[in-house]
Amino acid sequence: MSPVDIVIIVAVSVAFVAAVTAIIVRKLRKKGGCDCGCSGCPHAGNCRGGKN
């Protein structure tokens, strides 16, 4: 395995861990959904506090 391959694997791994961490932090802070207040939105149930 060349050094370039190792760098690519490390970069992809770091990006994956960052994305998963961002999702977890977002869910813990209860900031899911768009919070637009549209009851017709398919993601309306995900808005903060269930506002529809």
Model confidence at 47: pLDDT above 80: no
Q: What is the pLDDT of residue 32?
A: 56
Q: Per-residue confidence at 51, pLDDT binned at 50, 70, 90?
A: very low
Residue count (the chain) = 52
Q: In the 8-state DSSP scheme, what is residue 45?
A: G
Q: What is the pLDDT of residue 28?
A: 80
Q: Where are the domains of the chain?
A: 3-50
Contacts of 32 (CB under 8 A, 6+ apart): 26, 46, 47, 48
The tens digit of pLDDT for each residue in 9-43 reads: 999 999 999 999 988 888 787 665 555 556 666 66
Q: What is the pLDDT of residue 23?
A: 85
pTM over the 0.85 mark? no
